[in-house]
Structures are given as structure tokens and as C-alpha cells.
Structure 1
Amino acid sequence: MTTDQKSPGDVTGVDTDRLSANLARIEELSTRLSRAMADRKGVRQSLQGPGQELYMKAMTAYMSEMMNNPGKMLEHQIQWWGKTLKHAVDAQHALAGVHAPEDETPKDPRFANPLWETHPFYNFMKQQYLFGAEAIEGAIDALEGLDPTDKKRLDYFGKQIVDMLAPTNFLATNPDALEKAIETEGQSLVDGLENLVRDLEANDGELLVRLADEDAFEVGQNIATTPGEVVFRNRMLELIQYTPTTEEVHATPLIIFPPWINKFYIMDLKEKNSLIKWIVDQGFTLFVVSWVNPDPSYADVGMDTYVEEGYLAAIDQVKKITKQKKVNTVGYCIAGTTLSLTLSLMKKRGDKSVSSATFFTTMTDFSDPGEVGVFLDDDFLDGIEAEVTQKGMLDKFFMSRTFSYLRSNDLIYGPAIKSYMLGQTPPAFDLLYWNGDGTNLPGRMTVEYLRGLCQHDRFAKGDFPLMGESLALSDVDVPLCAVACETDHIAAWKASYNGVRQMGSKNKTFILSQSGHIAGIVNPPSKKKYGHYTNADWLDSPEDWQAGATFHEGSWWPRWGEWLAAKSGKMVPARVPGDSGAAPLAPAPGTYVKARPNR
């Protein structure tokens, strides 16, 4: 505390009007907080964390290790005791003013405030926390006798508990929050309480941290503004045709199928980073699907519905509108997985309407699903199945929370500290606004996708049942290009590579972009930010492929644009939405993208 800051008992110069107003706000907010918690619908226990079976396995393995190898376990404990005891002594000396605390712990962005290094109390809290975290992670790593899948899950959820208990997550041990409270005479805490109550009210009493200022954006006004028209609509989708910006376009049209877990405008946030606008500017006739945001009436919609009333319907409409026999396609994430299923089905039926396919961050082989695999065991999936059976859909809350926990310090604890302890307004960040604008998932489709594709990996095994056919990866034989992202925590790039490697196409291109699930795809050439890898050889392992790959500076967009142009035919006069004779139904971005269905 500096000399010009007030001590807790110093009331000199207190702004009594401000204090009274804050007390009134606290009383009002406390009432709203109580009401929000009272109205809480509650989340079934099976969706709150892994089942007890995992912890029982871990305890059994630990006790077995203690019995069979006690020296190893005692050594691990003694190392931790030694570190904590030595530091406790150092901290006592530091508090007595003998010397500054020694600190050899690794740098951690959570502890950026200088007080974590210089103040004996905060340094003691930080070091003891990091010693404990190291001990817990080491104990898990040393466990033997656990199935690899169980050990991976235990490691993940162990780290979640460790991250949750960081001293930065508590007001009494967060110097940034306490300094801000003193500086603002408590105003930051009042503002933080208001932010907390607002987020609870928005999610029926469940806590989901708001990441962006929702008042800063409006879809169709300052994001998702590329001109176009809705040219077809059914209960599953709106089909948007974008207005050309070139006098001529390639004859073969392009359809993008975005994921229906989120909304399509991730590819059209702003003009400077809009993949949609960039594609149009390259001379392609572009159609983009905007999926409906389902409510409980969509309970019986399954993967077959998305294929038949989504993919096949859109392909049929684009062929009619452009008077072409073939189309090019793009599938992003889950939409790429389903595009693969559609192509397999079309192969079985002898339908040759698709000229080429591009897959963005797409998994089709789930034998090793990466980080997200920790949520694919029966304990979670049984809970999801019970949830959708009861309610007809999986509320967007669950998917948003799950993906956030894959990067909990960045997407949960860090934003919570800023919002609730520092009282900051969430930033006006278009990407985070989109991230919070999720969609619900139909009940039947959710179970079919999670059980049949993710958990049982039936497509890669060659026996995924759909619409009377047994579908296999080897059926996907159209020319294809797959783009994966190196640090993707949702669709692991190695799993993506393994899936594409098993596809039956003789004309395959694989591009590995730097960065993650979103930034690696929304990577315009003008930014000159993330590079990419290419390798024409399809080696048995993704590690070998990357080791032999060539790195290229800058975005992969131009490389893909050249690949796509070679498969898109001659140039023809540009097509304008509505010139096919069918009147446009609504201007882009359409109506489905703005809908807020009943829960």
C-alpha cells in the first residue's frame, strides 16, 4: 500500500454519496443474485464432471503403487515436503525482513503482478501453489496400472482442479483485484458483482462467463455484412448466395457448409478478415448454408436429416440456380465430418454432383480424438443422452462450457477475474462475440454423432449406418483438400490427417496451418501472421508427414484458391442472386442466424 492510499480504518475524505449509492446497488444486486440462484434449474450431476468410476480407478492404482513400490511414492512425497518446508522458512525470514524470498518457480502469466515476486505473503502463496501443482501432476504421471484413456482423463481433470484452485482465482489472494478495489474505493467490486449477477441471470442461474460486450455488435450491421441474398429456405437451413464482385466467375459454384454448433459468420466477421468476401473477390459463385438454431421441436432430427434436408437439398438447389451439373463443397469441423458422410452416401447411390471437397479442421477418424476425448466416455455421454431425452435438445450452454474448459485459464478463469474481481466490461471483440453466440443441438443428432462417430468411431471402421447404407471413409473418392490447424484443441490435426489418409480419393492435398481451430482458418493474407506446412507425400504417421513438410510464410488461402480454381471450370458471366428466376427471400445474413429459439 502506498503512503497516499487510505488504510481500512481511515474515513477521512470518504465520498459518502458514492458510498451510499454503492450500498444501495449492493442491496439491489444481492436481491437479484438470490433470485437468480433460486430460479436455477440445475444441471444433472453426470454433466458436471467425470463419474466416480474414474476416481475409484485412480485411487486403486495409487494404493497399488503404494503397496508395490512404497519407496517411489515416499520419494515423491518427501521431495514435495522438502520444497514446501524450505520455502516456508524462507518466507518467515522474508516477513521478518531478513532477506527477499528466493523464487526459482517458472514464469506463469497468471502471476504477472510484481507483488507475486516481491511481497513475502503473495510470493509464499504463489510458490506453495506451484509446488502443490507440480506434486499433483507428478503423482498422476507416476501412476501405473491405469488404462491409457483413464490416465489421460485423470491428467486432464487433475489439471482442471489445480487450475481452479490457483490463488489468482480468489479475491483475498489476488493482488490485482485488491489494488483495484482500493484504487476505486470498492467500485470495482460492485461492478464485478453486477457482471456476475448479469451472467447468472442470462444462464438460468448457471455460471457461464461472458467473454465479449454483446452491445458492441449486431449481426448484419457491423459483422456478417458481405452482400448477398437468401435464395432458398427449408426447416433446416437458409441458403445464402453472395453478390459477385467480379465481372466473370468460375463456372462451377462453391457451397460452404459451416458447423451447426456455432454460426456461419465466423467466416464473415469483418471485411478485412472475411473468408467469405475473399472467396467472392477471387471470382467464385459462393453459396453458404446458415443452419437453423433448433428448439425442442427438433428432438427427432438426426444425422440423416442434416444430410438429406441440409447437404443434399443445398447441392440440388445450387445446381438448379446455376444450371450446373456439379458443385464444389467445403465442410468446416462437424460439417466437414458430415460432408464426408454425405460423399460416402452419394458414392453408394452413384450421385456424382460433387466435383471436389475441402475440409476445414475436420475429424473423421476418432480413434485418438485428442483433448476433447476426455468428454467422450460413458459417464458424460450417458448424462447427455439423458438430458436430450428429457428436453429434446442439447442447450448451447453445455457445448460452450465444454469447449471453454479445454482452455480454462484463457476462457474461464482469466475472463472471470477481469469481469467479477476487477469489474471490467468484457471487450468489444468480434471473435469472442461470435464464440458466445452458440446454437442448440437436436436430441437424436447429438446422440448419433457422439455415440456412433466420436465414441465408437464407426465411420473410420467402415460401418456407420445412415439412410439404409453402411458408410465408410474409403467411399470418399472425390478430389479433396484438407486444412488442419497445428494447435487445434477441438479437432486435433493428427486425427484429421489420419482420417483424410484413409479416404479413397487419389487426388488429396493436406495443408497444416499454424495456430488453432479458428485463428488458423480465419487467417487472411493481409495479416501476414500465421504460416502453413505442405507435403505431397502421404506418410503413415502425421509426425513423419510434418517432419518432411515444407513451411511457407503467410496464409494458406491463396494456395487453396489456386487449388480450387483448377477444379472450378472456365470463366462465365457473373451470377447475381435472383437471376435464376427465383425471388430472393431475405438479404444476407438471413433470418436463421438471428433467431433465439425457445429453450
Structure 2
Amino acid sequence: MDQSNVMEPHLPTLEQMQQWTQVIGRAQQLMLEQAAGMTGQAPPFDPEIVARIQTGFADEGLALWQRFLDSGGLLRDTPEPAPPGSPAARKDRRFSDPAWTEHPFYDLVRQSYLLLSDYLTKMADAVDGVDPKEKARLRFATAGLLDALSPSNFPLTNPQVVQKTIESGGENLVRGLKHMLADMEKGQLTHTDGTAFELGRNIAATPGKVIHETPLYQLIHYAPSTDTVLETPLLIFPPWINRFYILDLSPEKSFVKWAVDQGLSVFLVSWKSADASMKDMVWDDYILGGQIDAIDTVRDLLGVESVHTIGYCVAGTTLAATLALLAARGEADKVASATFFTAQVDFSKAGDLALFVDDEQMKLVDQLSAGGFLDGRYMAATFNLLRGRDLIWNYVVNNYLLGQDYPPFDLLHWNGDTTNLPARWHRDYLTQLYRDNLLVVPGAISVAGTPIDLTRVTTPAYVQAGREDHIAPLESVWKLTEHFAGPIRFLLAGSGHIAGVVNPPSAMKYQYWTCDAKQATIDDFLAHATETKGSWWPDWRAWIGGIDEKSVAVTGARIPGGGKRKAIEDAPGRYVKQR
């Protein structure tokens, strides 16, 4: 960046430096008081550790100012970088613009912020002798606060915003205000240009028909693209906390289209976004009236004994309960295989989402669910908070401060297409599973009066996890392998909860890890796994074929609407469009 175009800040005065010292002191005191409140006694810090952290912070701060003054302060021509290993030398893409290191003022601001972030993070980590969940809450809150306080988020301390404001005469701030007011009106942060996408045209566009409908879901049967198909059909259960078309984005990204092209008879459940009529729905409804109803419908339509199934995220958790119920009823043979996309059954290591299930959060959920359902925007905000730096503050800078236009991005459009949740079932899910972890306790949960036990599930399972998943952490997904009794193939995909799943072979992105020999722990798996470049989808298709590769001709009921279930409407159907 040309420094001549950057508004020249001034060296902080003594009074300003004293103010910042007081701010840091107050922040430290608040953390001490919070830690004390967790135990009801003196702050549980090791004095030696705290002294070491404080000494390191003071030494780093003095060294920063000494480098700044020795190099000429605001008058210097070349930056004085922090020594390797210093927190101030850490790479951070929020500060990727050259002005953050080339301009002396912004370089000082950047390095000071990184030092403060390191200090407060270490202080949060130094809390000892408290409940691990309480410590995790403190760490999460500290990280969120530091993300919010980044100098990149404020117009006068972000060189890109300062330059843009000068160049445009402030037009960027006017456009940003327009974006902000629009988001306030709809109650949701905008990530992309939604006008670029139309359901059934350029997203959720794989040809098919809705062939079955209940008050809870629509069943889509996709049109085959091959002359023969696998005899055992595939039934996909997407999570009802989002729209199903995460698995049917643009044609080049669509898992549904790819599966159809691989010679599979593909069916998919499109859940209804909850309204007041669904206020009394519970997990039994999603298991019996949702998954088992869909399984029986497909079996009856095609005249087959069993189906292959996929459960994504919360639908995978529910699929595990469905399998346990079928096993208890002696009907396990209705499902030939079960694939789990980033799904959890044991929530003992559920990650940061487990921080949102305490009593205060439950009271908030109740307040927000007065109409019998929870507005999907609440869940969207929760998921955004898990990656606040990427999904909140990045867009605050780009959309509100820089006034940039929204780029068209199908995945982000899906991310903002929220779905309402039945209030009663959502609360039960958070308390019984996330908080109390009852699903892995044999007999602790009953479905329609039948106690279920995951250890009775012998259905062949394919368990996929994401290495960088912040919603269903790797360690948590792995624990599913510790509860099922049947054969399991565990696969670890590169990237996270979405990109780790939606990774078509044509993209040639990321990688995955597999291990043919059974491993006792996730650490053992990581130590022995083999890495393969690219998409894991072909590995899954080979696994499905290894169960039963028998094929049949595409005739009659294999064509959507051609059997006893006549077409109700074209895919993607009405339910995915309802708000």
C-alpha cells in the first residue's frame, strides 16, 4: 500500500498509554473474578505460572516499544519485525495487507494486539482447579472477546478501511451502513448474494420427483442417469437444522448427482421447517415418522428387503438411534448399511457446542421458542459464533466497513438459508444428548416405549469425520466406533464439517486418511493411517459395492413416479422452499 495515501496517525500520548495499561489491568481483574466465581474461592491460579506469564508479557511489551523507538517511531522508513518465536511475529490473515507491517503505526497496533491476545489467552489457560467445562467457557469467551477487539474490525485502526474511505470519499461506509441496516431488518448476517441462486435451477437442481409426503418430510426420488442401478437403494437423511441441498449444491459439487451417476437409486428426505403445528414433536417422531417411515416406504416401493442409508450430523445421531430401535425390534435387516457424515452419538467430547447447554442457555432457548418452534436464525448465529473470526468479523469488515458487494457463493447461500426447529425436541436434544449424554447409556433412552442400546447395532457402518471439524470434533465422531458392535470403516477427511463432506472428485481438493486394520483409539488410527489425495467419495462407493454389487435394470418403480408412488411434484419440492 502506498503510505502517502494512508491517513497519518499519531504516536500515543502518555495519557493514552496509561489508559491502555488500565484497560489491560481491568481485563485481567475480570478474568480473576470470573475464575474465582467458578469455585467460590480465591482465583485458582498457580502463582508461579501467572508470574511467568506476566513477566513474559511485560518483557515482550518493553521489547516492542524499544524496537519501535530504536527504529525511529512513526518516522521510520523500514519496519522492525518482531523476533522469530515472539507472539507479535505470529502470522494472522486478518493482517495480511502490507500496510500492517510496512506502516509504523499499524505495525505497532498489530504487534500490540497480538501480544495482548497471547497474554489473555495464556491467563485463561492458566486457570486451574475448576470444572473442565467452566474452564472451556472461559477460554471460549476470551477467544470471542479477542476476536471482537481485533484492530482490523475498527475503521480508524484498519489501514484498508482508512484508504478505502479516502479514495471513495466515504462511499464505502454508506454502502456498509446500507448492508448493516438490511441485516438488522432481517435479523441475520448476510454472507453472499442470494439473488444469484434459484432452487431447482442452479442449486438443488438434480432431476427427480417428490413421491411421498407427510407433515414432517417429503421424500424425493432422483431420476437415474444409468441404464442399470444397484439393487439396494440409497436413502439419505440430511440434518433438519439446515436445508437438504448442502448435498445438492451446484451440479459440479452435488453429492446427490454424483451418487446418481455412480449407478445408485437415490432417495432423499427433505424435512419441513418447523412451525407452530410441530410444537409437540419429539425424537420419536423423527425416528418413527421420519426415518423408519422413509425406510419402509422405499422398501415397499421397490420391493427390496433393505436400503443403504446416510445420516448427516444430527440426522446421523438419529440414524444411530433408529438402528438401535430396529435391532431391539428384530428388524435390523431393513438397513443394509449405515453411513455417518460427521455424526456424534457420544457427546463427552462434543467441543464448543457443548458450552451452549447450561441452564442459562436453556432459559434463552425457551424464551425464543414461545411459538412452539425455534427460529433458525438463532442456530445460525450459534454456529457463526463457533467460527466468529471467519463467519462474523470477516464479513463485518468486508460488508460494513469496506462496503464490498456480496460475492455469489452457493455454500454460503445455503448456510444462510435457515430452518426452524421444533422447540420441544430441540430442547430434549440439547439436554438429553449434549448435556446428559444419555444415548450411550444402554436403556437410558426409549423410543415408543422401547429402550434402545447402541451396542446391539451390528449393521455395517461407514463413519466419516472431518479433521478440522468445529461442530462435530474428530475425537467425538470417533467415539461412535466404540459403541457399535458391527463392522466399521472409519475415514478421516481433510477440512471440516461442510467442506470435508462436500468434496467432489473433480475438485481434486484436500485428502483423506484410512486404516484397514482396526485401531483401539483415535491416536492409534492417526499413527497408522494412510493418506490419499483428493475426494473420499470413491472410497465410500467402493465400500458400498463391497456389501452387495447386484444391479437391476431401470424400469418401473426405479423411475420416479413409475411405481405405486406417483409423483406429487418435481424436486426439490415445496418443503425446502418454506420459511
Alignment of 1:498-577 (within 5 A): 498-505=479-486, 507-568=487-548, 570-574=550-554, 575-577=558-560
Question: Which of these residues, 18, 42, 57, is aligned with residue 64 of structure 1?
Answer: 42
Is the counterpart of residue 584 in structure 1 residue 567 in structure 2?
yes
CA change 1:457–1:2 in 2 (3 A) is closer
CA change 1:154–1:284 in 2 (3 A) is same
Alignment of 1:35-114 (within 5 A): 56-58=34-36, 64=42, 70-92=47-69, 94-95=72-73, 97=75, 100-104=78-82, 105=88, 106-114=90-98
Is the counterpart of residue 163 in structure 1 residue 147 in structure 2?
yes
Q: 2:132 matched to which residue of 1?
A: 148
**Aligned partner of 1:164: which letter?**
A
Contact 1:533 1:550 in 2 (8 A): yes
Q: 1:334 matched to which residue of 2?
A: 314
Deviation of 1:199 (Å): 0.5
Question: Which of these residues, 320, 325, 341, is aligned with residue 345 of structure 1?
Answer: 325
Q: Which moved more, 1:192-201 or 1:525-534?
A: 525-534
CA change 1:376–1:55 in 2 (3 A) is farther
Take 2:393 and 2:243, find their aligned partners in 1: how far apart are those partners? 25
Is the counterpart of residue 593 in structure 1 residue 576 in structure 2?
yes
Deviation of 1:449 (Å): 0.8
Q: Which moved more, 1:558-567 or 1:224-233?
A: 558-567
Deviation of 1:530 (Å): 1.8
Take 2:226 and 2:3, find their aligned partners in 1: how far apart are those partners? 66
**Aligned partner of 1:159: which letter?**
A
SS of match in other structure, 2:520:
coil
Q: Which moved more, 1:303-312 or 1:574-583?
A: 574-583
**Aligned partner of 1:516: which letter?**
G
Contact 1:298 1:392 in 2 (8 A): yes
SS of match in other structure, 1:547:
helix
**Aligned partner of 1:372: which letter?**
L
Is the counterpart of residue 316 in structure 1 residue 296 in structure 2?
yes
CA change 1:139–1:582 in 2 (3 A) is closer
Is the counterpart of residue 488 in structure 1 residue 466 in structure 2?
no
Q: 1:468 matched to which residue of 2?
A: 449
**Per-residue CA shift, 1:548-585, capped at 9, x if unaligned?**
11222221111111211233452111111111133200
**Aligned partner of 1:197: which letter?**
L
Contact 1:328 1:568 in 2 (8 A): no
Deviation of 1:589 (Å): 0.7
CA change 1:512–1:54 in 2 (3 A) is farther
Q: Which moved more, 1:185-194 or 1:90-99?
A: 90-99
SS of match in other structure, 1:183:
helix
CA change 1:71–1:516 in 2 (3 A) is closer
Contact 1:530 1:555 in 2 (8 A): yes
Take 2:75 and 2:104, find their aligned partners in 1: how far apart are those partners? 9
Q: 1:136 matched to which residue of 2?
A: 120
Question: Which of these residues, 153, 159, 162, is aligned with residue 178 of structure 1?
Answer: 162
Deviation of 1:71 (Å): 4.8
Is the counterpart of residue 450 in structure 1 residue 430 in structure 2?
yes
Contact 1:474 1:502 in 2 (8 A): yes
Q: 2:403 matched to which residue of 1?
A: 423
Take 1:234 and 1:168, find their aligned partners in 2: how far apart are those partners? 49
**Aligned partner of 1:182: which letter?**
I
Deviation of 1:58 (Å): 4.7
Deviation of 1:196 (Å): 0.5
CA RMSD in angstroms comes to: 2.3
Is the counterpart of residue 405 in structure 1 residue 385 in structure 2?
yes
CA change 1:564–1:159 in 2 (3 A) is same
Q: Which moved more, 1:473-482 or 1:429-438?
A: 473-482
- TM-score, normalization: structure 2? 0.90
SS of match in other structure, 1:487:
coil
Take 2:108 and 2:423, find their aligned partners in 1: how far apart are those partners? 49
Take 2:566 and 2:46, find their aligned partners in 1: how far apart are those partners? 76
Work out the percentage of aligned pairs sharing the same amino acid: 38
SS of match in other structure, 1:272:
coil
Take 1:422 and 1:95, find their aligned partners in 2: how far apart are those partners? 28
Is the counterpart of residue 439 in structure 1 residue 423 in structure 2?
no
Question: Which of these residues, 358, 365, 390, is aligned with residue 339 of structure 2?
Answer: 358
CA change 1:468–1:91 in 2 (3 A) is same
Take 2:46 and 2:408, find their aligned partners in 1: how far apart are those partners? 55
**Aligned partner of 1:163: which letter?**
D
**Per-residue CA shift, 1:445-504, capped at 9, x if unaligned?**
101111111111111122222210222221221111111111111111221111222112
SS of match in other structure, 2:58:
helix
SS of match in other structure, 2:478:
helix
**Per-residue CA shift, 1:258-295, capped at 9, x if unaligned?**
00011111111111111101111111111000000111
- TM-score, normalization: structure 1? 0.87
**Per-residue CA shift, 1:39-60, capped at 9, x if unaligned?**
xxxxxxxxxxxxx999644556
Take 1:406 and 1:6, find their aligned partners in 2: how far apart are those partners? 34
Take 1:69 and 1:563, find their aligned partners in 2: how far apart are those partners? 52
Q: Which moved more, 1:352-361 or 1:252-261?
A: 352-361
Take 1:118 and 1:554, find their aligned partners in 2: how far apart are those partners? 38
**Per-residue CA shift, 1:101-139, capped at 9, x if unaligned?**
533121211111222112222122111111111110111
Q: Which moved more, 1:102-111 or 1:426-435?
A: 102-111
- How many residues align? The count is 546
**Aligned partner of 2:196: which letter?**
A
Take 2:508 and 2:63, find their aligned partners in 1: how far apart are those partners? 49
Contact 1:58 1:154 in 2 (8 A): no
Deviation of 1:223 (Å): 0.8
Contact 1:330 1:357 in 2 (8 A): yes
Contact 2:7 2:162 in 1 (8 A): no
Take 2:46 and 2:205, find their aligned partners in 1: how far apart are those partners? 64
Contact 1:115 1:175 in 2 (8 A): yes
Q: 1:192 matched to which residue of 2?
A: 176
SS of match in other structure, 2:338:
strand
**Aligned partner of 2:304: which letter?**
Q
Contact 2:317 2:343 in 1 (8 A): yes
Deviation of 1:423 (Å): 0.5
Question: Which of these residues, 364, 371, 381, is aligned with residue 362 of structure 2?
Answer: 381
Take 2:31 and 2:155, find their aligned partners in 1: how far apart are those partners? 34
Take 1:309 and 1:151, find their aligned partners in 2: how far apart are those partners? 40
Is the counterpart of residue 276 in structure 1 residue 256 in structure 2?
yes
Q: 2:102 matched to which residue of 1?
A: 118
**Aligned partner of 1:175: which letter?**
P
Deviation of 1:370 (Å): 2.0
Deviation of 1:61 (Å): 6.6
Q: 2:111 matched to which residue of 1?
A: 127
Take 1:142 and 1:4, find their aligned partners in 2: how far apart are those partners? 44
